[in-house]
Chain A
Amino acid sequence: MANIVCECGHINPIGTHLCAKCGRPLSEEEKSKKIADMRYDGTAIRSKTYKKTFIDHIWNFFSSVKVGVSLIIITLVMAALGTFLPQVMYVSVPLGMTEADVYEEKYGLFGKLYYTLGFSDIYSSPWFQIIVGMLAISIIIASFDRGIPLYKSLKNQRVRRHESFMKRQRIYGEEAMDEVQAAEVFDKAQEKMKALKYKVRREEDVLLAEKGRFARWGPYINHIGLIIFILGVMLRLMPGFYLDKTMWIREGETAAIPGIEGYYIHNNKFIFETYGDSDEKVEASQKAADAINSKAKNYQTDVTLYSDKVDGKSLAGNTDDLEKIKDYSIQVNKPLKYDGFALYQMDFRQNELKSMKFDLVNKKEGKSLGQITVNLDDPAKKYEISKDIYIELKSYYADFSGFEEGVPQSASPIPNNPAFIFTMFTPEVPKGETSFVAIKQTLEPLGTTKYQMKFNSVETRNASNFTVRQDKTLPLLLIGGIIFMIGVTISSYFSHRRIWLQYTKDGRLLLASHVNKNWFGMKKDLDSIVSYAKLPPYIDQVDEDNKKKELDNKEDGDNT
Chain B
Amino acid sequence: MNLLDLSGTLLFIAFIVYLVATLFFGGAIKHTQKDVSTSNKKWGTIAIYITVLGFISNLGYFITRWIYSGHAPISNMFEFSTAFGMFIVGAFILIYFIYRVPSLGVFALPVAIIIIAFASMFPREVSPLIPALKSYWLTIHVITTVIGEAILAISAFAGLVLLLKHVNMKVRSKERFWLEGVMYTLVIVIGFVLATSIFSMAKYEAEFTYVDKEKNAATIVYTMPALFGMNDHKLLTEDRMEPLVDMPPIVNAKKLTTVAWSFIFGTLLYLLLRLILRKPLAEKLQPLVKNANSQLMDEIGYRAVLIGFPVFTLGALIFAMIWAQEAWSRFWGWDPKEVWALITWLFYAAFLHLRLSKGWEGKKSAWLAVIGFAIIMFNFVAVNLIIAGLHSYAG
Contact = CB atoms under 8 A, between A and B. Distances in A.
Interface stretch (B8-16, B257-265, B345-353): B345-353
Given A484-B313, A558-B37, A560-B103, A297 B131 contact: yes
Contacts of B335: 90
A19 to B, nearest CB: 22
B89 to A, nearest CB: 20
B247 interface: no
B346 A72 contact: yes
Contact of A292 (B128, B131, B354): B128
B173 interface: no
A73 B347 CA distance: 7
Contact of B36 (A83, A540, A558): A558
Contacts of A89: 333-334
Nearest to B309: A492
A86 B291 contact: no
Interface stretch (B53-61, B197-205, B273-281, B295-303): B295-303
B216 interface: no
B291 A543 contact: no
Contacts of B333: 89
B177 to A, nearest CB: 23
Interface string A64-102: 011011001101100110111011011000000000000
Contact of B293 (A332, A346, A489, A557): A557
Nearest to B291: A560
A76 B343 contact: yes
Size range of the chain A interface in the assembly: 35 or more
A518 interface: yes
Given A546-B295, A560-B101, A332 B353 contact: no
Q: Which of A68, A83, A87, A90 has the most C-beta atoms of chain B within 10 angstroms of its own C-beta?
A: A83
A465 to B, nearest CB: 12
Contacts of B40: 558, 560
Contacts of B364: none
A364 interface: no
A485 B318 contact: yes
Contact of A76 (B37, B292, B329, B350): B350
Interface stretch (B112-120, B186-194, B320-328): B320-328
Contacts of A520: 98-99, 296, 299, 303
Interface in A404-427: none
Q: Which of A107, A108, A344 has the most C-beta atoms of chain B within 10 angstroms of its own C-beta?
A: A344
B339 interface: yes
Nearest to B326: A333
A517 interface: yes
Nearest to B323: A333
Contacts, number: 154
A101 B313 CA distance: 39
A335 B130 contact: no
A335 B326 contact: yes
B96 interface: no
A106 interface: yes
A194 B326 CA distance: 48
B214 to A, nearest CB: 9
A284 B2 CA distance: 13
A79 B132 contact: no
A517 B302 contact: yes
A335 B353 contact: no
Contacts of A488: 309-310, 313
A342 interface: yes
B125 interface: yes
Contacts of B37: 558
Interface residues of B, number: 70
Contacts of A471: 325
B387 interface: yes
A75 B128 contact: no
B130 A296 contact: yes
Interface string A543-560: 100100000000111111
B286 to A, nearest CB: 11
A86 B391 CA distance: 13
Given A518-B303, A556-B291, A333 B213 contact: no
A292 B343 contact: no
A164 interface: no
Contact of B334 (A123, A332, A469, A542): A123
Interface string A472-484: 0010010001001
A333 B291 contact: no
A101 B387 CA distance: 21
Contact of A333 (B134, B334, B342): B134
Nearest to B130: A296
Contacts of B383: 83
B303 to A, nearest CB: 6
Given A69-B358, A296-B131, A558-B37, A346 B329 contact: yes
Nearest to B340: A83
Nearest to B305: A492
A403 interface: no
B379 to A, nearest CB: 10
A502 B356 CA distance: 29
A77 to B, nearest CB: 9
Contacts of B321: 477, 481
Contact of A83 (B134, B137, B387): B387
Contacts of B306: 492-493, 517
Nearest to B250: A107
A342 B329 contact: yes
A474 B356 CA distance: 32
Interface in B117-151: 125, 127-128, 130-132, 134-135, 137
B381 to A, nearest CB: 14
Contact of A481 (B128, B318, B336, B358): B318
Nearest to A492: B306
B365 interface: no
Contacts of B213: 106
Contact of A284 (B125, B135, B309): B125
Nearest to B294: A546
Contacts of B250: 106-108
B354 A489 contact: no
Contacts of B98: 520
A435 interface: no
A546 B293 contact: yes
A342 B347 CA distance: 34
A528 interface: no
B299 A519 contact: yes
Interface in A137-164: none
B170 to A, nearest CB: 13
A82 B98 CA distance: 40
A280 interface: yes
Contact of B290 (A219, A284, A555, A559): A555
Contacts of B132: 332-333
A492 B155 CA distance: 14
A474 B325 contact: yes
B299 A299 contact: no
B102 interface: yes
B336 A332 contact: no
B131 A331 contact: yes
A39 interface: yes
B128 A295 contact: yes
Given A275-B128, A298-B131, A484-B313, A332 B327 contact: yes
A87 B334 contact: yes
Given A69-B350, A69-B353, A83-B336, A560 B131 contact: no
Nearest to B344: A76
Given A68-B353, A332-B134, A520-B99, 20 more contacts: A39-B357, A65-B353, A65-B358, A83-B336, A84-B387, A86-B388, A297-B130, A332-B327, A333-B131, A333-B132, A333-B327, A346-B329, A477-B331, A492-B309, A518-B299, A519-B299, A520-B98, A558-B36, A559-B291, A559-B296
8 contacts: A69-B350, A297-B130, A477-B331, A484-B313, A488-B310, A489-B310, A558-B37, A559-B296
6 shortest interchain CB distances as A-B pairs: A65-B357, A332-B131, A83-B336, A344-B329, A333-B135, A492-B306
